[in-house]
Structure 1
Amino acid sequence: MFDDRELTESRIRRFTRDHLTPQVHQETAPVTIAAYRVEGEPIPPREAIVDHAGDYAPLEVGAPLGRAWSTTWLHVTGTVPAQWADDERSDPELIVDLAFSGQPGFQAEALVFTPDAVPVKAINPYNRYLPVRPGEQLDYYLECAANPNVAGEWTFAPTPLGDLATVPEEDLYLLRELHLARRDVRIGELVEDVRALVGLMAELDEASQRRHEILRALEDACDTVDPDDVPGTVEAAREVLAPALARPAHRSALTVLATGHAHIDSAWLWPVRETVRKVARTFANVCALLESDPDLTFSASSAQQYRWLKDRYPELFARIQEHVAAGRFVPVGGMWVESDTNMPGSEAMARQFIAGKRFFLENFGVETRETWLPDSFGYSAALPQIAALAGQDNFLTQKVSWNQVNTFPHHTFRWEGLDGTSVFTHFPPADTYNGMLTGEELAYFERNFKEKGRSSIGMDLFGWGDGGGGPTREMMAAGRRAADLEGSPRVEFGTPQEFFDRARAEYPDAPVWNGELYLELHRGTYSAQPGTKQGNRRSEHLLHEAEFLSALAALRAGFEYPHDELEALWENVLLGQFHDILPGSSIAWVHREAEQDHAETAARAEAVIAGA
């Protein structure tokens, strides 16, 4: 046969791009839009929706949405066409585009609220929809954040976008799209079928039978779909692809246990105030996906982030509590934040676990067992002892896989500290905490896994992270198609505890690494932002002194120990030890506020000392 592989692969890509993907959303319908621009810093949702109800003015698609770091509220009203209920194979959605480009979390974002200021779901570049119902009378408010892309092309060149004092006045985003659309579920599923097979095919040997089998199945599907009648031919095309998707994985295939995740930096290229909203947006998306997809489990660390939701988004926090009780939204890590582990004092490291584990126990009844630090900049040899004393017998990171020179020799092992204490440790072989379960990622996972022959299971953290976003329905679709697929590792959705229990049982004699887990990357951060580092150490010393003298005065003179004040101060210091704040890798705004926080902590701690 004539070798037309490259030509056919090009045709498949073009056909998917030009004829399938554009057909996922069929009919559209307009909505009515009004806007209120917030002057200055963000305001609480209820204030924006209720107190400023009279300040909304009509807005047209194409209008600008404000300068960097600004907030615009959109009020969306209208009626979902009732006739869309006649097609049970379609789902109506509200589609939003804030001039998106690139990765979620590093640009414009939005959170949808009801008129009662209850969060519903977030909007970002790869999660642009809000499910609605046929005949529904729309009444939603969108809090649109014009967060700038500070990183640019990841050159980290000097930029005026890192501080409010230097932000340019020009508008940064515009409302590119906001309307109703009817989504054809069948065409969406065909797109996911094609994406899964194309991704797998690209990773197979060019001469393999399996690769050419997939190629011809995809070619036949392209022949089957009528570009002028995609809805009428989509089911036939899916039947053509079904045999290629039904071929089971090899008996020896590696198992990828996938847990939904969204690593959210508590500050980095955005200030802490924006992280609060990022957490709300991401966790609202996770709850929406949990409620529509029974296969998803989601893992998230950092008690501080849950605390923000409890204080500022109580309805969303209550939804999370329900999913935690069901075992599908899984608090992990047991720390107040994902902190640096080299610069905090030993007392502060202990406090990270004390504060974090107490919050999880009091609010969820959950006793975490895994230390969860996928992105911190190296790990002290004292950490296994501290973690084990806190009841954490498992450890997860992937950061050391980014070493510049020396490749770490294991993915699953026992990490032994200076005193001989060890914790069972795993580095996800995908070398990322932003997994997507694509064919490329799964193939790399298997090639890269260093424990092959001794262990057959690894963990994958999938979902948009750093700036938030979380897992998407497309990632779930990809994982389901790879659950048992010839040429691919097997994908199972599960929790970190399920992974660690299985990995321990399979690999009881895992090798031992003794001492520090040194990161050959980001090393310059340890000499950056000395004001932040000096403030942290002074805060640690002052709080130790305040606690000691207050306890002494309480014992000897009946002094009322200022528990709540000292606890609040400690929590603020623990937040400041986050791995992009204390090391000095954040924008100017973050470090200016960190130094102000330490100055306030010092003043309040000194007041406690003087009173004792």
Structure 2
Amino acid sequence: MFDDSTLVEDRIERLHERLGKELFRVLAPVDVTAWKSPGEPVDFATAAEANYDPISSGDRWGPAWSTWWFRMKGTVPAEARGERVHLRVDLGFEGDWAGNQSEGLAYTTAGTPLKGVNPMNRLIPLTGEGLPATIAKAGERLLDDSGAVELLIEAGANPNMGDYMNNPTDLGDLSTRPDTPVWTFGGADLVVRNESVWHLWLDVEVLWGVLKEQPKGSTLRATLLRRLEEAADVVDAQGIQEGADAARAHLAPVIASSAGNSAQIMSAVGHAHIDSAWLWPLRETRRKVARTFSNVLTLAEDYPEFTFACTSAQHYAWLKDGAPALFARVKESIAKGQWHPAGGMWVESDTNLPGGEALVRQFTVGLNWMERELGVAPTCTWLPDSFGYTGALPQIARLSGMTTFFTQKLNWSQTNTLPHHTFWWEGIDGTRIFTHFPPVDCYDSIVSAEEVFKAERNFKEKGRAKRSLLPYGYGDGGGGPVAEMVERARRFADMEGAPRVEFDSPDGFFDKAREEYPDAPVWSGEMYLEFHRGVYTSSAELKRGNREVEAKLAVLEWLGALATERGIDYPLAEVEELWQRALLLQFHDILPGSSIHWVNREARAEYEALRTDIETLIDSLLASRAGGGTGSVEALDGDSGQAAALAGSEVTVVNPSPVIRREVWEHSDGCSLIEVAPLSSAPLSALEVSPTNPVTCETRGSDIVLANGLVEVVIDANGLVSSILDLDAGGRELLAAGQRGNALSVHPDFPSCFDAWELQHQYKRSETVLEEALEVKVVTKTALRACVEVRRTHGDSTFTQRITLDADARAVDFEVHVDWREKHRVLRVGFPLALNARTDRSEIQFGHIDRAIAKNTSWQEAQFEVSGHRWALLEEPGYAVAFANSQTYGHDVRVLDAAAADRRGGVAFGYTLLRSATAPDPEVDLGEHTLRYSLVCGADLAHAHAAGLRLTQPLRETAHALETSAVASIEHREGDTLALIDAVKPADDGSGDLIVRLHEAEGRAGIAHVRFASAPSKVRATNLREKEAPEVAPGLTACSEDPSLYEVSMHEFQIVTLRVARA
């Protein structure tokens, strides 16, 4: 026969367009008045009493970030009150990004929140079952007896920021946004959806999508084509409204035809990815949560099979605080089994940048809140959008009670693709967690045929497993699933030629996937994202704030443990709130520095507030522990050199770190070499020691030479380090021949996309080394410390570097104070080393990771910029050099170019200190920064850890007479493994028990000995939530000859949590 398939296909496309224009019948217009809130959002009562002015379709409203309230009044005609009537609202919507433009939340006149509106979800049901019935049960009516309806809509004039991930904009903050309207009101009306036409429209859309996925010439494609043609015939003959049901009858058999036993199965889980902050501020996310959750609840009432997964305890907490009626409905939906809390974390945090204890608290604080307030503790770690995943995460998640892990972000990698979609992910300690990447390659599917078949083609486990996860619902700025998505999923339930789609929950999917594929392959180690490498550096002030707040919280909890030992009250609720605030700032677009100026500005202010609030509690605990002290309490950080004079008492030194500290320390009375035990405090006079290796500082020609008998550092006339000798290793030269160390370099930084996120390889193709100095001078010259200061400029930026060598120190300390005024530039510092190292051993949470330095494979080459925490260790057989830092995460290690290396080769280590992207925040990183880092000669793992702690957990000074020994410490014995204490704190349940968390830090199985200040009555191993969990318990033995000493048997990088009941 004549092949008319192309003509018929064109006809079907046209049919779908025609149907889409006939989905609604307009009943009546709606009268709309509006009121602009004069400042930040106000409560409903204030808005309800305001004076409203008329607004019409076509009128402009705004400006960006303003809040407007719209009062809408209309009357449903009597003949339509038996139908399902909707209020249809257009705030001025454009495009299909539901959460990146104007959006609103509708309220009854009594102030009950109803439902959100956005460009993809414009309807508010007024009659019928579902939401109207729910409101009626609560004692309200949406329509009165005459059919009149009145609603108020709180609308945010949020600007469309989609173009500003690559281009600077002044829309990113209240202080810079133009004072002009950004949206055009589109109007509102009362409508009835033509249900038969709507369903036909969906039938045609789905079948047309399936048809396009079938091979040309296939029987199924021809069958679908002809059935759709028959439906078009009916509509053409009878009309759209009159012929819709008859046309559907022609399509029903093909929709009902079975998919067959070999069909893949996709578990459809509704989802709404809500970034806690990003292209909008935190205050807007609070409202996004209410809008999205109300939409989901409305959908759940209409579709009993619908399921929804939602993460982030913080979001639920915001809802409870701001919209308690919606929160109550969420809890009801959880009880029904439709709503499934997931993730377990306080927020969907970054996982590379937070410290180990902070990642633990993301889970414990989040899970404790969810269990307390929602009645459930999720078991699926749901992190779809973070920028890579630390190898420590499997153990942290499993020890928190999580059993599965879900993400999709790794499909963004630009060079390599992970070989699995369903697999066991093995962390650095050997812990495994069952993991899935959805082959649909997104977390916000709309359940289109194109997406469903893409997932089928992509699925790497075909032939071994059949089941994958299909997360659907508008996301990033929220929005969530809509009815059309659920209807598409219904049609894909069992259709010939297509995968099966089933409604499911995260736990339901993982249970089935694990049952069918228990021997899934294993991926071991970190899951590095080959993209967004710039977030290790962007917004350096937030990185500094994070490090400092994490350190201060550790001090606070340790002092809390000391206080409770004496029966002093510990402010448990206040400390939990401090943790919640700190954890929020670790969200995966805040701490990484990829948000608008408003978010960054507030985050910097919040870090400063956290510093103050934590110090206030520390002061209180120091005073209490010291028995009241001598009046006003002063506790100083001790790392700034700005300690004020403390009158009337001897300086007391506090060591809040878990290692012995022997170092030169600046304090209010001067400078001393001291040695102080871990987690203890004592008067300064009891800790001062004489140097074994005092420092000398001399001039040698045009060079300045610092030496202390262990290390010699030569600084040339331009302030560059020309030599570092390890005198303890026979005078070994650490710098490559002819090379200079501590050299600052500035590189062009113009990524091709995602400005603040991306650091792309091409930045290395061009550099300006800051070789010339304005001034080089000695600023400190004593037997305890010698310091050289170097001043430089580049462009509009100024740099003051300090190079310091202390008595008895194997570390050379570096500091750079920068007034950074560049844009689209990256600042780095480099050290070319005469070291034949093969791996970059970088600290991560609760351990370290080894990455190849040579770039022999595409996987290695893609890791040209990596993250690490406080230290990195570069080692050749028999010798190693460590680098430590105060706040810098991004670094690289590369094999030296042939021209820069001698015949033995060498490596270059470099920190990425600062960037200066212009989007989405055009001012990010501009301003003053102080960054510190150290090079440790002849180092080992213990030296590396100690160096990192020295820069990030400084000794503290207090005026209080306070002398304490460690409430718990590691007592290292011959043959023991290296173990470190990570937290000493009161138990979360307020019982008075002591919690001690430690980890094996060497990467080998072994024994650690833990000594307590006094013999405990009982010591139990627990999970991270401080509950006994025998399946994860280490070998724990009390030493018979010493009841204060316990032997802990640990495997490599094991995290051990001990719950100690005091005698």
Q: TM-score range by the shorter chain?
A: over 0.9
Q: Could you report, residue by residue, the CA deviation over 1:530-570 in whole angstroms, capped at 9, with x for unpaired residues? A: 011110111111111112113313323x4321222211111
Partner in structure 2 of residue 121 of structure 1: 115
Determine whether 1:42 maps to 2:52. no
Determine whether 1:606 maps to 2:600. no
The higher radius of gyration belongs to 2
Determine whether 1:100 maps to 2:93. yes
Q: Give distance in 2, aligned partners of 1:175 and 1:415.
A: 50
Match of 1:182 among 183, 192, 215: 192
Partner in structure 2 of residue 255 of structure 1: 265
Deviation at 1:227, TM superposition (A): 7.8
Partner in structure 2 of residue 289 of structure 1: 299
Partner in structure 1 of residue 315 of structure 2: 305
Q: How does 1:314-463 map to 2 (within 5 A)?
A: 314-463=324-473
**Larger relative contact order, structure 1 or 2 (CA cutoff 8 Å, min sep 6):** 1
Partner in structure 2 of residue 239 of structure 1: 249
Determine whether 1:564 maps to 2:557. no
Q: Give distance in 2, aligned partners of 1:201 and 1:241.
A: 13
- The letter for the 1-side match of 2:160 is N
Q: Give distance in 1, aligned partners of 2:428 and 2:252.
A: 55
Q: How does 1:113-192 map to 2 (within 5 A)?
A: 113-133=107-127, 136-152=147-163, 156-192=166-202
Does structure 2 conserve the Cα–Cα contact (< 8 Å) formed by 1:325 and 1:364? no
Partner in structure 1 of residue 234 of structure 2: 224
Q: Give distance in 1, aligned partners of 2:56 and 2:375.
A: 48
Q: Give distance in 2, aligned partners of 1:206 and 1:143.
A: 51
Deviation at 1:367, TM superposition (A): 2.0
Q: Give distance in 1, aligned partners of 2:288 and 2:7.
A: 43
Q: How does 1:78-93 map to 2 (within 5 A)?
A: 78-85=74-81, 90-93=83-86
Q: Give distance in 2, aligned partners of 1:437 and 1:284.
A: 21
| More strand as a share of residues | 2
- The letter for the 2-side match of 1:122 is G
Deviation at 1:155, TM superposition (A): 5.3
Q: Give distance in 2, aligned partners of 1:215 and 1:157.
A: 45
Partner in structure 2 of residue 491 of structure 1: 501
Partner in structure 2 of residue 73 of structure 1: 69
> Match of 2:61, SS?
coil
Q: Give distance in 2, aligned partners of 1:326 and 1:520.
A: 41
- The letter for the 1-side match of 2:291 is R
Q: Could you report, residue by residue, the CA deviation over 1:54-79 in whole angstroms, capped at 9, with x for unpaired residues? A: 41122222222211111110111121
Determine whether 1:109 maps to 2:103. yes
Q: Could you report, residue by residue, the CA deviation over 1:186-206 in whole angstroms, capped at 9, with x for unpaired residues? A: 111110101111111111112
TM-score (norm 2): 0.56
Deviation at 1:48, TM superposition (A): 1.5
- The letter for the 2-side match of 1:299 is A
Q: Give distance in 2, aligned partners of 1:539 and 1:11.
A: 63
> Match of 2:25, SS?
strand
- The letter for the 2-side match of 1:82 is A
Q: Give distance in 1, aligned partners of 2:46 and 2:543.
A: 37
Partner in structure 1 of residue 1031 of structure 2: none
Q: Give distance in 1, aligned partners of 2:39 and 2:6.
A: 54
Determine whether 1:586 maps to 2:595. yes
> Match of 1:602, SS?
helix
Deviation at 1:595, TM superposition (A): 0.7
Deviates more, 1:244-253 or 1:441-450: 244-253
Partner in structure 1 of residue 289 of structure 2: 279
Partner in structure 2 of residue 16 of structure 1: 16
Determine whether 1:576 maps to 2:585. yes
Q: Give distance in 2, aligned partners of 1:27 and 1:588.
A: 43
Does structure 2 conserve the Cα–Cα contact (< 8 Å) formed by 1:340 and 1:579? yes
- The letter for the 2-side match of 1:96 is V
Partner in structure 1 of residue 55 of structure 2: 59
Does structure 2 conserve the Cα–Cα contact (< 8 Å) formed by 1:94 and 1:181? yes
Q: Could you report, residue by residue, the CA deviation over 1:458-481 in whole angstroms, capped at 9, with x for unpaired residues? A: 111000010000000000010000
Query: Which 4+ runs in 1 deviate beyond 3 A?
Result: 226-229
Q: Give distance in 2, aligned partners of 1:326 and 1:235.
A: 33
Partner in structure 2 of residue 215 of structure 1: 225
Q: Could you report, residue by residue, the CA deviation over 1:577-608 in whole angstroms, capped at 9, with x for unpaired residues? A: 00011111111111111110000000011111
Does structure 2 conserve the Cα–Cα contact (< 8 Å) formed by 1:261 and 1:470? yes
> Match of 2:435, SS?
strand
The count of residues paired between Structure 1 and Structure 2 equals 603
Q: Give ranges in structure 2 of 5+ residues lacking alignment.
A: 128-142, 622-1063
Does structure 2 conserve the Cα–Cα contact (< 8 Å) formed by 1:484 and 1:490? yes
Q: Give distance in 1, aligned partners of 2:67 and 2:355.
A: 38
Partner in structure 2 of residue 5 of structure 1: 5
- The letter for the 1-side match of 2:123 is Y
Q: Give distance in 2, aligned partners of 1:129 and 1:262.
A: 18
Deviation at 1:223, TM superposition (A): 1.5
Does structure 2 conserve the Cα–Cα contact (< 8 Å) formed by 1:91 and 1:184? no
Q: Give distance in 1, aligned partners of 2:444 and 2:50.
A: 42
> Match of 1:590, SS?
helix
Does structure 1 conserve the Cα–Cα contact (< 8 Å) formed by 2:27 and 2:77? no
- The letter for the 2-side match of 1:37 is K
> Match of 1:162, SS?
coil
Q: Give distance in 1, aligned partners of 2:53 and 2:60.
A: 14
- The letter for the 2-side match of 1:5 is S
Determine whether 1:28 maps to 2:27. yes
Deviates more, 1:378-387 or 1:221-230: 221-230
Q: Give ranges in structure 1 of 5+ residues lacking alignment.
A: none
Q: Give distance in 1, aligned partners of 2:64 and 2:385.
A: 27
Match of 2:478 among 465, 468, 474: 468
Q: Could you report, residue by residue, the CA deviation over 1:388-410 in whole angstroms, capped at 9, with x for unpaired residues? A: 11011111111112110101100
Does structure 1 conserve the Cα–Cα contact (< 8 Å) formed by 2:89 and 2:122? yes
TM-score (norm 1): 0.96
- The letter for the 1-side match of 2:175 is A
Q: Give distance in 2, aligned partners of 1:27 and 1:273.
A: 36
Does structure 1 conserve the Cα–Cα contact (< 8 Å) formed by 2:428 and 2:524? yes
> Match of 1:166, SS?
coil
Deviation at 1:327, TM superposition (A): 1.1
Q: Could you report, residue by residue, the CA deviation over 1:398-445 in whole angstroms, capped at 9, with x for unpaired residues? A: 111211010110010000111111100011110100011111011001
Does structure 1 conserve the Cα–Cα contact (< 8 Å) formed by 2:27 and 2:76? no
Does structure 1 conserve the Cα–Cα contact (< 8 Å) formed by 2:277 and 2:285? yes
Aligned identity (percent) is 49
Q: Give distance in 2, aligned partners of 1:338 and 1:161.
A: 26
